[in-house]
Structure 1
Amino acid sequence: MPKCPVTTRLYEGGRVVAEGFGAVEAAKKLDEHPDAVLWMDLLDPDEADLQAIAPAFALHPLAVEDAVHDHQRPKLDRYSNHLFMNVYAVQVTTGGPVPTMDKWEISSFITDRALITVRKSDVDITGVLKRWDADPELAKNSGVAFLVYGLLDVVVDGQFAAARALDEAMDKTEDAILEVGGAPRPVRMYGFGLRKALAHLRRPVAPMPSLIEEVLRLEVGLVDDRLKPYYRDVDDHARRATETLDASRDRIIGLLDADLNEQSNALNDITRKLAAWAAIIAVPTALTGWFGQNVPFWGYEKVSGFVASVFLILVSGGSLYVYLKRRGWL
């Protein structure tokens, strides 16, 4: 028996007829209920745990290896006796100093009468169970394809919700990023965090339309005409999530570039003002340097000479100030 935690359910006619039985009893339950389908979930199993159930369901060794090793890409692999699917449930948090994203890998073995899920971390799957239990009429006579649909529906809806959350967080920071003189540093760091979260989220989300399209292929033989509209709805949500991420990524890049340009404009304005003030200060400096030479000059050691020098300083400096002010340098 597998040593990892195992959860089991047996569905017949769209309803649960047995649950909580051990992995060893799974094959026996399927024999006792010829029209039933099995869901078995293993939490963080090692290779020995999967090898314990592999003979009963004819699981391919390569698929078992992929299910054990972390960080597999989202994909659907076809083997002679089953399919192997790998997807990611995601969640984003936008309320902190920077947005963060968490993801949980879920691998699945899809046979004719069983869906075996492998969770590599303790992700909450109550949403999947509620989705399976919400529509027993649709589940009736739909077999394993309905279980796969429920899993994909919840995963893709979570991905779409995460993409929308990041897009809405961008709305709140857009005005602050486009402030005159550039955004404050916390706002700018939040923008960089948004860009990083979008890039991380796109990796598990972008392959989903291709994965669902592969599930729908006729040669796979999993989805019948009754369930195809529901799978197409999931495919639509997956494509919308990808489009939202792509649009948000282009948008945040444009906002950060605009903020950088605004900072450059503000820096140029400050540099221009400093240069103007330096020119104003240079004029009296030159005049005082001239009158400070150790040689007699007009007004030397007289009050009139002091008054004349001060007058020249004020007139020349004031004239330069007025000229620079009209040119917009000050």
Structure 2
Amino acid sequence: MTEEVNNKQILFKDYVNGFPKESDMLLSTSSTISLKLPHGSNGVLLVKNLYLSCDPYMRIRMNNTAGGDTDSFTPGSPIIGLGVAKVLDSGHSNFKNGDLVWGMTGWEQYSIINDPENLFKIEHTDVPLSYYTGILGMPGITAYAGFYEICAPKEGEYVFVSAASGAVGQLVGQFAKLSGCYVVGSAGTKEKVDMLKNKFGFDEAFNYKEEQDLDAALKRYFPDGIDIYFENVGGKMLEAVILNMRLHGRIAVCGMISQYNGQGDGVQNLFLLVPKSIRMQGFGVNHFYHLYPKYLDMIIPLIKNGTISYVEDIVEGIEHAPAALVGLFSGKNVGKQVVVVAHE
């Protein structure tokens, strides 16, 4: 007889207005799952989830209409997000039992993956597996594609990164230094500002919460203006940056976390993109996964020789996942927010 086990799940309760709350998600302990796929389960996988990724874009999926190529969560069903998992039973010829993978999975202990073609098989296991939620996963390729493909940096250019201590921003700053650029980051606490300068090697960093005038702050750190802005925030920060962009500057729009909860201010000076010949481009990481092998070839040696640092904020236990996700929107996390579901 096939073994049935308990399968703790984090269920999405209903669509959200404003800032998400822990109560918008529900821990369910009533579900069970068989640890063997039913006979004839072709093309699907049964996986044991090891690590779950908390990412700002997940707030968009809590809306009734997510927009773009992002689907809304389904009320009453498990939250869906990126994670690292181990294949327990395979009905797909490209995967075997015991394989480690990363990609979209459920916020639950065990998941049935119906579209494993979208999973990435983990080949490098001599680095922390949790890194595949961050530097070796979606945030890593986001930083790589946004900075190198869209911003096209040149040595000596001036780079500004907002939300710079987050999963993506900390990498963009280090890529900028590797490219011979001058880089400044903003973050929301003294601890994060110190980390940007002392651990990640940013030339300067500042606490945006302590600045009464963001335009003045940017002029202080960029007296000659900004060539590249890696945008994670939107609102008043973007408005101040546009004032300080140099001719032919580039803005890669990775996210706008200040706008996700319906609280952010609109940007009033977009017309300045015209006289300054600024190129501002939004991008979704899904369009750049073809670069993933090339990115791994670059980043794995840099991790192993210590050239690149990466900071994670790890919480243990799936029951703490809602608090970890909600904490992103008040800046509670220091580094990439990861939830440990199980150890391999």
Question: Do they superpose with TM above 0.5?
Answer: no
TM-score relative to the length of structure 2: 0.23
| Bigger CA radius of gyration | 1
Tell me which protein shows more strand as a share of its residues.
Answer: 2
Tell me which protein shows more helix as a share of its residues.
Answer: 1
